[in-house]
């Protein structure tokens, strides 16, 4: 996309920009810091810039507390602080802008007490495009105090008339709202009933939880298709995370396979190793054509969890595995045999292709 911009292929660049924001949002989030920096290298990428800023205004730490904040392009900073819906206290925005300005002038004395008038002017020049947007707190408040408010105080004491000046909050503070489950399902592979059944297996309940009394929240970590996932993506997001549920939609069938790993996967430097776990399990879920769910608990705990640099989430010795020898390429092989777990979760032992793949971290609801 950036190369297309360089060569003035504007139509192609615009197409790629729309393609990224509409179909590759997961990848953009996975590489957010780099994408945020790159998107402001060309002012024509307005859609991508807005997509990034729409995230940052809700989660300001993604930009203001990132390692690359001091190298943030000026246009990115200006476009961000000019947003009225930036969810950060004005004084904190001001402090971060000063921090950014000082970083742009490494020759400034580290101790503020040693600054000269020339040093302050240097900082002011650096921040000249930012100052008009630190609004509403620094400049407008100063004017209010110097003009309206001071006049009102005099009027109050001289004539006993009520004060009319108002100091309004500089930005719109939003009240977060949870998305409606009717419009945004938590999963594209499983439903609420499936989640309740998995939760009952986690707690080793004899009777299944209902949808309403499921005690666990399913927080999505990773989602995509066969062509969109690589072992590298898996390890980048899921390394050493615990209490993970994996679900896989098998291509060409109605099967939904998966597993639960309470202790997590640890990325090896090379090769593979297996972790001991006594509470993991794998499963096949009931759906339109599969009449009954299959729960298969671990039978050989010493080899329960497979950690392989070329795999995604692996259970047992091929009991449920996805692999690609090139960790930066999509998975080529998926298979499920029966070795370290009690039951087979597929009738066939042949390799299969996945259509979709999701990983959740489950936590107890408050």
pLDDT, greater one: 5 or 184: 5
| Residue 205: per-residue pLDDT | 93
pLDDT, greater one: 112 or 17: 17
Confirm if 292 and 286 have CB atoms less than 8 A apart. Answer: yes
Burial of 118 (0-12, 13-18, 19+ CB in 10 A): exposed
Mean pLDDT across 59-80: 86
- Nearest alpha-carbon partner for 30 in 226, 235, 236: 236
Is residue 196 very low, low, confident or very high in pLDDT (cuts 50, 70, 90)?
very high
Owner of token pair 């190369």: 3
pLDDT, greater one: 120 or 229: 120
| Residue 242: per-residue pLDDT | 96
- Nearest alpha-carbon partner for 346 in 271, 263, 258, 278: 258
| Residue 68: per-residue pLDDT | 81
- Nearest alpha-carbon partner for 127 in 69, 191, 74, 62: 74
Residue 98: its H or E element: helix 90-103
Least confident range of 76-85, 139-148, 248-257? 139-148
Query: What six digits make up the tokens of 356?
Result: 């979709």
Residue 91 has pLDDT above 70, yes or no: yes
**3-state secondary structure (DSSP) of residue 276:** coil
Residue 144 has pLDDT above 50, yes or no: no
DSSP states of 215-250 as a string? -EEEEEEEEEEGGG--HHHHHHHHBT--SEEEEEEE
* Alpha helices by DSSP H, 127-180: 140-144, 150-159
Confirm if 10 and 42 have CB atoms less than 8 A apart. Answer: no
Residue 157 has pLDDT above 80, yes or no: no
Q: Nearest-5° angle of CA 163, CA 164, CA 169?
A: 110
| Residue 315: per-residue pLDDT | 95
Mean pLDDT across 162-180: 52
> What's the rounded Cα separation, in Å, for the pair 267 and 309?
6
- At 309-336, the pLDDT tens digits run 888 899 999 999 887 655 555 555 788 9
- The half-sphere exposure of 214 on its side-chain side, counting CA atoms within 13 A, is 19
Confirm if 68 and 33 have CB atoms less than 8 A apart. Answer: yes
Confirm if 2 and 41 have CB atoms less than 8 A apart. Answer: yes
Mean pLDDT across 106-123: 88
Quote the percentage of the chain above a pLDDT of 90. 31
Query: What six digits make up the tokens of 118?
Result: 């020339």
| Residue 237: per-residue pLDDT | 87
Residue 158 has pLDDT above 50, yes or no: yes
- Nearest alpha-carbon partner for 195 in 70, 82, 335, 360: 360
Residue 154 has pLDDT above 70, yes or no: no
Q: At what angle do helices 117-126 and 90-103 cross, to 10 degrees?
A: 100
| Residue 211: per-residue pLDDT | 87
Mean pLDDT across 82-94: 84
Least confident range of 62-76, 235-249, 260-274, 333-347? 62-76
| Residue 216: per-residue pLDDT | 96
**3-state secondary structure (DSSP) of residue 335:** strand
| Residue 248: per-residue pLDDT | 92
- Alpha carbon 156 to chain centroid distance? 52
Is residue 277 very low, low, confident or very high in pLDDT (cuts 50, 70, 90)?
very high
Confirm if 346 and 336 have CB atoms less than 8 A apart. Answer: yes
| Residue 131: per-residue pLDDT | 79
- Nearest alpha-carbon partner for 14 in 48, 56, 40: 48
Is residue 181 very low, low, confident or very high in pLDDT (cuts 50, 70, 90)?
very low
């Amino acid at each position: 996309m950036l190369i297309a911009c360089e060569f003035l292929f504007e139509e192609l660049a615009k197409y790629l920009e729309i393609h990224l924001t509409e179909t590759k949002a997961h990848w953009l989030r996975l590489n957010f810091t780099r994408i945020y920096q790159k998107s402001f290298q060309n002012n024509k990428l307005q859609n991508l810039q807005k997509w990034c800023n729409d995230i940052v205004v809700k989660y300001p730490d993604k930009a203001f507390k990132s390692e690359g904040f001091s190298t943030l392009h000026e246009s990115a900073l200006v476009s961000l602080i000019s947003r009225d819906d930036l969810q950060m206290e004005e004084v904190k925005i001001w402090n971060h802008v000063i921090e950014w300005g000082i970083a742009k002038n490494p020759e400034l004395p580290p101790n503020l007490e040693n600054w000269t008038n020339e040093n302050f002017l240097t900082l002011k020049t650096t921040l000249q495009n930012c100052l008009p947007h630190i609004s509403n707190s620094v400049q407008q408040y100063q004017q209010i105090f110097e003009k309206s408010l001071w006049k009102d105080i005099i009027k109050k004491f001289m004539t006993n008339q009520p004060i009319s000046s108002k100091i309004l909050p500089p930005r719109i503070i939003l009240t977060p709202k949870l998305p409606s489950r009717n419009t945004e399902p938590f999963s594209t592979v499983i439903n609420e009933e499936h989640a309740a059944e998995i939760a009952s297996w986690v707690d080793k309940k004899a009777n299944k939880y209902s949808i309403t009394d499921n005690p666990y929240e399913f927080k999505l970590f990773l989602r995509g298709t066969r062509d969109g996932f690589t072992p590298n993506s898996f390890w980048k997001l899921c390394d050493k995370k615990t209490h993970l549920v994996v679900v896989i939609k098998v291509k060409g069938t109605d099967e939904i396979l998966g597993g639960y790993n309470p202790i997590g996967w640890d990325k090896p430097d090379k090769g593979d190793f297996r972790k001991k776990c006594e509470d993991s399990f794998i499963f096949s879920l009931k759906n339109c054509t599969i009449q009954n769910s299959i729960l298969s608990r671990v039978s050989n705990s010493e080899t329960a969890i497979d950690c392989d640099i070329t795999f995604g989430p692996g259970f047992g010795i091929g009991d449920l595995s996805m692999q690609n020898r090139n960790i930066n390429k999509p998975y080529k092989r998926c298979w499920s045999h029966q070795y370290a777990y009690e039951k087979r979760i597929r009738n066939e032992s042949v390799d299969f292709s996945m259509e979709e793949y999701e990983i959740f971290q489950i936590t107890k609801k408050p």
